[in-house]
Amino acid sequence: MNLQDQLQWISDSATFLSPELILLFGIIALLISGLILKKEGTIIFHLLAFLSIGASALVVVIDWPENPVRLFNGMIRFDDFSSYLKILIDLGGLLTIVLTRNRIQKKKAEYFLLLVTVILGAHWLVMSMNFVMVLLSLEMISLSSYVLAGFGFDKKGAEGSLKYFLFGSVATAVMIFGMSLLYGMSGTLDFSTNKFVSALLEQKSPLVLIGGLMTLSGFLFKIVAAPLHVWAADVYESAPTPVVAFLSVVPKLAGFGVLIKFTLAINLFGQSTYNWPTIIGTISMLSLTIGNFSALWQNNPKRMMAYSSIAQSGFLLIGLTSLSISGVHAMLFYMAIYLIMNFLTFLIIQQFELDHNTLSIPSLAGLGRKFPFQSTAMGVGLISLVGFPITAGFTAKFFLFSSLWEAFSQAGKPILIVLFVFGLVNMVVSLYYYLKMPYYLFLKEPPSEKTFLVNTPLWENLLSAFLVVLLLVLFFQPDLLMGWINRINFVL
């Protein structure tokens, strides 16, 4: 391919990338305005970030892809699967900006800039079909997240951020090593090509397994799945709440986007000598157990949500274990619901944290009677995380487990039924700690009559009401979302 053709490729491809270009312009605008505007307390950065992410989401919806298109010489693919995830990622970004309120006082411009950069990286990651592209976009997310995690500018935040960075770099290093092994054996960096599959099929060496597992570890780090979860609790505890909400959703969704593709590729269309569904199923069970059982002992709301995030990844991996189209659809549904319920919960956690300084779960005692609306909203979010009717969390889990059952009735692998029962029993365990916050809110008496200052903005209450309604509506009418997801034609 000569230079002219390559340039042609690039200019042709660029037309498909208007959402990403908008984000890029947003980043540049934030950078410049941050240099010019020195005044603290200005709202312009909020607006810039909000507008660029919002516009990008809008363009994703308008430019809905009919057929998958390979861009940049096969580096990325523009398809409905990635567009769907991009919308979720953008929504996550928008909700984070709302959550940020005036929490961040120092270095506002940098904060929003990093936020939009993570979003941009996530956009790239869900489109990537090539190891190099995966690595680049993953690092784009990671490097920005490390800084975001330390945005409390205190000792604890710095510690959390450093831990995040150290674990992250090791995970990335391991991933690069795995990728290079796979590249060495297959001779291609594009993991969706036939060449990748056929070359690995011929390889009898266990290095395929090792390379696959090592590559997987980079993704597991991003989605906070065991055994690469150890960083989560400290980072979640020390980072500012909006950042925690952001980190618990956006990088995770992006990580799942690429993990789904990679797992289908490394499974070699079911012909692999290694049993990848079992491997994924084991990771799922491990995440469920570690996440749920560690969450039981937590007394800090954000720390508890960190372990909850690990367990939720375990649930999401159930959809991947079935390695079927309905499994992927169930995951996509679950991701949307997860986005809603997680942000709802963090929204209220932050409100209580700001208004009443509730840094531990017992300090929530008695707030439920004073603030029935917020407490009920939090209750709905948590009940939905358990997967209890009448919230969409139930529907999402129902679809996941149905896909697993379907896979079992087709393949009959014992691991599937083990995971099925295991996952469901874990729902009971999770009930115990998810109920802890409503328990203190409603059932416990406040220690003494304290006076409560309330300065929750009205629009934030409206937002939480909207999210609650969304969770209920998607329970009664899941076809609103599922009908759309079912049209997503996922092929590798």
Q: Give the residues lining the site for another protein (CB under 8 A).
A: 325-326, 369, 372, 383, 388-390, 394, 398, 401-402, 405-406, 408-409, 412, 417, 420-421, 424-425, 427-428, 431-432, 435, 439, 442-444, 476-479, 482-483, 486
- Token pair 């290694």: residue: 274
Rounded (10°) angle between helices 108-127 and 241-266: 20
Of 158 and 365, nearer to another protein (C-beta) is: 365
Minimum distance from CB of 326 to another protein (Å)? 6
Q: 383: closest CA among 477, 471, 253, 469? A: 471
The amino acid that residue 373 corresponds to is F
Minimum distance from CB of 327 to another protein (Å)? 11
Of 9 and 398, nearer to another protein (C-beta) is: 398
Of 102 and 409, nearer to another protein (C-beta) is: 409
Of 165 and 394, nearer to another protein (C-beta) is: 394
How many other C-beta atoms are found inside a 10 Å radius of the C-beta of residue 408? 18
Our CA angle for 440, 442, 446, nearest 5°, is 65
Minimum distance from CB of 454 to another protein (Å)? 17
Of 61 and 480, nearer to another protein (C-beta) is: 480
Q: How far apart are CA 403 and CA 317, in angstroms?
A: 12
Minimum distance from CB of 427 to another protein (Å)? 6
How many other C-beta atoms are found inside a 10 Å radius of the C-beta of residue 446? 16
Q: 151: closest CA among 139, 164, 140? A: 164
Minimum distance from CB of 481 to another protein (Å)? 10
Q: How far apart are CA 353 and CA 191, in angstroms?
A: 45
Minimum distance from CB of 153 to another protein (Å)? 39
b/e map 420-436, b = 16+ CB within 10 Å: bebbeebbebbbebbbb
Our CA angle for 388, 377, 87, nearest 5°, is 80
Minimum distance from CB of 252 to another protein (Å)? 25
Of 58 and 365, nearer to another protein (C-beta) is: 365
Our CA angle for 83, 84, 89, nearest 5°, is 90
Minimum distance from CB of 345 to another protein (Å)? 17
Q: How far is CA 104 from CA 39, 155, 189, in A?
A: 14, 16, 41
Of 75 and 404, nearer to another protein (C-beta) is: 404
Cβ-contact 291, 307 below 8 angstroms: yes
User: Residue 483, class by beta-carbon neighbours within 10 Å (0-12 exposed, 13-18 middle, 19+ buried)?
Assistant: exposed
Q: 49: closest CA among 79, 81, 27? A: 27
Cβ-contact 177, 214 below 8 angstroms: yes
Of 275 and 402, nearer to another protein (C-beta) is: 402
Minimum distance from CB of 397 to another protein (Å)? 9
In which element (H, E) is residue 26 found? helix 18-36
Minimum distance from CB of 233 to another protein (Å)? 24
Q: How far apart are CA 393 and CA 268, in angstroms?
A: 32
Of 421 and 458, nearer to another protein (C-beta) is: 421
Of 14 and 443, nearer to another protein (C-beta) is: 443
